[in-house]
Amino acid sequence: MSIADTGRTIDAIWRIESPKLIAGLTRMVRDVGLAEDLAQDALVIALERWPVSGIPGNPGAWLMTTAKRRAIDLLRRNKLRDRKYEELTRSAELYTEEDMDRHLDGEIGDDLLRLIFMTCHPVLSQEARVALTLRLLCGLTTEEIARAFLAAEATIAQRIVRAKRTLSAKKVPFEVPAGEELNERLATVLEVIYLMFNEGYSATAGEHWVRPLLCQEALRLGRMLAEIAPAEPEVHGLAALMEIQSSRLRTRVGMDGEPILLMDQNRARWDQLLIRRGLAYP
């Protein structure tokens, strides 16, 4: 694989893995800004090593292991030898890629949902929540977000930095809230999940019209939210909409990469299971 091909592959891997990576790291260090910095450090190391050593079989696990080790180094340098340090050290004991993959599969969905509730806290403005979502969960660059907002890149960068600082300063918990606090944030969380789905269904950045993995992630989070808030009709409505929309993903783009209009799609290839799931929501 050429250096250019490797670079494009790493970029694609980063777009897929970065939300999960940041969510997992936020759970550990309880600071979304620090988590993103650690994830970026792991990406830089990958950009240095993978063109020489080759891309590992499980790049997501490799990035997570590298970022966790960077977190341990940071804690050691700052002499934070408390319980969090001990827990983090124990959790980073030389995993194999297979072990790490199993570990992440068991927790990462919850982590992403916690991250969404964290970034949807009312201490942030609506604009800040959207920008932070596009950055952390959809993997868009600051330049791409600025283009979507029709704003200056420096303005968006400052907005994202201020949002992360606010979350840290206010010590916003990394959790899915309950009771009235859950109800207060639910509408914004639904907007964020739908924003994720839309970015996957009709991508505003990158080389491809559709990002199916981002759609699948949003759909999985919608299903989880339906279990957490079973009495909320808007939650079920969003989940049903995403199920039905996802049923057409395989037919939205042709072999040449060009989009296919709805009337020209092969309906026999629509996923009937997803359609039935969508129609079954109360």
Cα distances (angstroms) measured from residue 10 to each of 211, 226, 258: 16, 34, 24
Q: Is-contact 96 82, C-beta < 8 A?
A: no
What distance in Å separates the CA atoms of residue 55 and residue 90, rounded to the nearest whole number?
27
Q: How far apart are CA 7 and CA 218, in angstroms?
A: 26
Average pLDDT over residues 233-239: 94
Give me the mean pLDDT over the 209-215 stretch: 86
Q: Looking at residue 105, what is its pLDDT? A: 43
Taking only the tens place, the pLDDT of each residue in 106-159 is: 444 478 888 989 998 989 998 898 888 888 888 878 888 888 788 899 999 999
Q: What angle do CA 218, 43, 133 make, to 5 degrees?
A: 30
pLDDT of residue 79: 59
pLDDT of residue 101: 45
Supply the pLDDT for residue 180.
84
Q: Other CB atoms closer than 10 Å to residue 80's CB: what's the count?
A: 12
pLDDT-derived band at 4 (thresholds 50, 70, 90) equals confident
Confidence at 233, pLDDT banded by 50, 70, 90: very high
Query: What confidence tens digit (pLDDT) does each residue in 52-101 have?
Result: 888 998 999 999 999 988 888 877 776 555 555 455 555 554 444 444 44
Please give the mean pLDDT across all residues of the chain. Answer: 84
The answer for 171, left when phi > 0, alpha when psi is -120 to 50, beta otherwise, is left
pLDDT of 274 > 50? The answer is yes
Cβ atoms of residues 221 and 113 within 8 Å: yes
Ranking 41-45, 70-74, 81-85, 217-221 by mean pLDDT, the lowest is 81-85
